[in-house]
Amino acid sequence: MSDYLLAEQVGFLLRRANQRHTAIFSEHMPGNLTPTQFAALARLLEAGEISQNELGRQTAMDVATIKGVADRLRRRNLLSSRRDPSDQRRILLRLTDKGRDQVQIAIKSAREITLKTLAPLTQKERDDLLPLLEKLG
């Protein structure tokens, strides 16, 4: 018999926590946005116009993932793109007015989603958890 218990492993526990958060997110996020789409829109709201690759880096998405996210958001008219005049290989992204409106509404829900995700924790546990997760990332 092994002394390895799956239920005590960090990956298993993180996956369970992520599944809980994802279920809460899906239930409460307006506009049928996925977590990756919301992250891209929220970061664009903060940054203004940035390159697609930079948006991927800032939202922890690889090149293929951010391209797919950007393509879907562009089809929904939530962001626009253009070639960078100084480097035609670079694609610059920015929110459309519709995208700005939608992400501002979504941010209100995102705050509530965070509170629901962290609800089982005390305030001290919440204050301790976020810096620890940031340190792991």
- pLDDT score recorded for residue 61: 97
- pLDDT score recorded for residue 119: 97
Please tell me the pTM assigned to this model: 0.89
Cα 8 to Cα 18: distance, rounded to the nearest angstrom: 16
Please enumerate in sequence order all residues whose Cβ is within 8 A of that of 65, keeping only pairs 6 or more positions apart, or say none: 36, 56
Where do the domains of the chain lie, and which CATH numbers do they carry? Answer: 6-136 (1.10.10.10)
32 torsion bin: left (phi>0), alpha (psi -120 to 50), beta (else): left
Closest CA to 43 of 55, 34, 52: 55
List the structure tokens of 47: 């940054």
- pLDDT score recorded for residue 137: 85
Amino acid at 37: Q
Read off the pLDDT of residues 68-121 as tens digits, 9 standing for 90 and up: 999 999 999 999 999 999 999 999 999 999 999 999 999 999 999 999 999 999
User: Is the pLDDT at 1 greater than 80, yes or no?
Assistant: no
- pLDDT score recorded for residue 2: 81
Read off the pLDDT of residues 31-55 as tens digits, 9 standing for 90 and up: 999 999 999 999 999 999 999 999 9
- pLDDT score recorded for residue 130: 93
133 burial (CB, 10 Å; 0-12 / 13-18 / 19+) is: exposed
- pLDDT score recorded for residue 124: 97
